[in-house]
Amino acid sequence: MDITYHYPPELFNLLIDTIPLLMPGKKDVFLFFRGAGVEKRMMEDIYSKWKMNPDSVNKFEIARTIITQLNELGEKAIKERREILKRVTEFEDFSTCWPNDQLKAKGLVVQIQSVVDVKDSFTRMKIEKDRERQQRLFKENEEREAIRLKQESIDCVKAELFGLFSLDNPHKRGKAFEGVLNKLFSAFEISVRESFTLKGDTGEGVIEQIDGVVEIDAHFYFVEVKWWDKPLGVGEISQHLVRVYHRAEGRAIIISASDFTEPAITTCKEALQKKVVILCTLREIVTLLESKVDLKTYLNAKIKKAVIEKMPYYTPSVGSL
């Protein structure tokens, strides 16, 4: 039970036993409660009974009557109950007590201090536990919302990607494919730099066209995207590999809407001696989107296979990811 709202039984009885010992007379008991903020009307009945016949009530009955009423008021009497506890636990001048009551009063005050410390500790623990629970719930809600927004973004890109199948113009479709894949990387929270060109230093014009660069686990992958009707051959693969060879830390991802010829795959396998190269098809992208597999996890499985087993063209089972 939280002592902020009610005195629990142990503390309730201790206060009834202690306050009368701290006050030398019955009038002093009333003054103690008045000093703690208890309104006169709350003490009116017991006070009138005492005034009419001082011997009809004792100090303990006065304390019990008033404390009982305060406890029954619950939250409305928080201020008064707190002040009563404060005055009792901070009581120091026991010389005002009757000599025979001083030691007992000191002992009871110590007991009350101990009970209040324990109760307050549990209250603080409960407050802290509630705070941690609220923080956890808030974090879980944030994470759920982030997941929802991420999936919403992925679904939008997925719809845009599937919409490309209806485009008849190959050039227009190919350029759109580049943009959609860059959006897809971003939706899966993979750092991406969209397509750009590099010009020569001596006026040669455009010397390189890069479809995109993504960062996966601190490695930069230069992305080549093709939407052709026929499988990509050695020529198309080699053009991109040359770009990567000319960069000290560059790696390669080649994504094709069709497939790859065996000679092209062999070329990439040989290139693995110097550079990490992975091949991926549009079919794989569609499969992982429909299976709701994480793109980065999927690509890492392909990268691992390429690095360890020299297999640039490996299709992971989405069920195992």
Give the pLDDT score at 120: 59
Reported as type and span, the H/E element at residue 73 is none
Q: What is the pTM of this model?
A: 0.56
Nearest to 321 by CA among 277, 288, 274: 288
84 closest CA partner among 70, 98, 73: 70
Per-residue pLDDT of the chain (321 residues; tens, 9 = 90+): 445 457 888 889 999 999 999 999 999 999 999 999 999 998 999 999 999 999 999 999 999 999 999 988 888 888 898 899 889 988 988 998 999 999 999 999 999 888 877 665 445 545 666 777 888 888 889 999 988 999 999 999 899 988 988 888 888 888 888 888 888 998 998 987 765 444 444 454 434 577 788 899 989 999 998 988 899 999 989 989 988 888 888 899 999 999 999 999 999 999 999 999 999 999 999 999 999 999 999 999 999 999 999 999 999 998 887
Which token pair is 132?
A: 């941690």
- Nearest Cα neighbor of 97 from 27, 14, 25, 36 is 25
- Strand 191-199 vs strand 219-226: parallel, antiparallel, or unpaired? unpaired
Cα distances (angstroms) measured from residue 162 to each of 42, 92, 157, 289? 77, 82, 9, 11
CA atoms 183, 185, 191, 193: torsion sign:
negative
Question: What count of other Cβ atoms lies within 10 Å of the Cβ of residue 215?
Answer: 13
Q: Determine contact, residues 116/88, Cβ cutoff 8 Å.
A: no
